[in-house]
Amino acid sequence: MEFKGKTVLITAGGTQENIDPVRYIGNRSSGKMGIALAESLLAKGAHVILVLGSHQVLVPKHTNLKVLQVQSAEDMLNACMSEFDKVDVVFKAAAVADFKVKQIATDKIKKQGLTELSLTLEPTVDILKTLGANKKQQMIIGFALETNNAEANAQKKLLEKNIDAIVLNIPSEKTGFGKDTNQIVVLHKDGSRWESKLLQKTELATILCEYLEEKF
C-alpha cells in the first residue's frame, strides 16, 4: 500500500472536558506526534484531514491539508464520523481524556467557603471503538500508552476494537507528552511486532509511515 493519493484522517493533540466555563479536565499532549505524521503523509502525496485538539506546535499549511479544530472527546468523535466515509486510512494518535464531568457547572466554581470539592466523573466516548465498529474499507491504526503489562494491554485493545494495528508508545524520561523524541512498538493481529529506536518524532513519523506502506 502506498499513501500517495490516499485520504488519511489523523487525530492529534489532547481533548479538554469542561468542569465549568473556565476549567477543564485534560492532559499534557502536545500534538507533536500527530502533526509529524500529518507532515510525513503530506510529503508522501496523501490528502490529510487533521482532527486536532489542544496542541503546542505549529500546524503546517498545505493545499492537501484540512484541519478540524475540536475541544472535547465528543467533538472529536463527531468530526471523525463526519469524514469517516471519505477516508482510506485513520491514525488515531490523539490523547483523549478518559473521563468527563457528569454535570458541568454553568458558572465558575468559587473556592470561597469551600473546604473541598467533589466532581462526579463518567467515561468519555470511546472514539477508537466507535470507528472500528463502523469500519468498512478503512485501515485503522490505533495508538496506546500503557504503564504496566504494556504489550498485553495494547494487544487486547487491538483485538477488541476491530482495528488493523496499534502503535504502543513506550514511556520513559525521553518519550511521552511534550517530548521531541519517542519510541514505539507496532503490534499486529497476527502477533507480529515491530519496534523502533528512540528517534525524533519527526523522523519516527516518516519511518512509521514507510513501515506501514511495506507491511500493508
Angle at 98 between CA 92 and CA 99, to 5 degrees: 145
27 has catalytic annotation = yes
Three-class SS state of 68: strand
Q: What is the dihedral of CA 7, 83, 144, 47, to 10 degrees?
A: 20
C-alpha cell at 135: 469500519
> CA-CA distance, 203 to 197, in Å (whole number)?
11
Question: What's the per-residue H, E or C state across 165-211?
Answer: EEEEECCCCCCCCCCCEECEEEEECCCCEEECCCEEHHHHHHHHHHH
C-alpha cell at 110: 468559587
C-alpha cell at 149: 503489562
Give the C-alpha distances (Å, rounded to integers) separating 154 from 95, 143, 164, 188: 15, 9, 12, 10
Three-class SS state of 167: strand
How far from chain centre, in Å, is Cα 173? 21
Among candidate residues 18, 27, 64, 78, the one labeled active-site is 27
- Residues assigned a catalytic role: 27
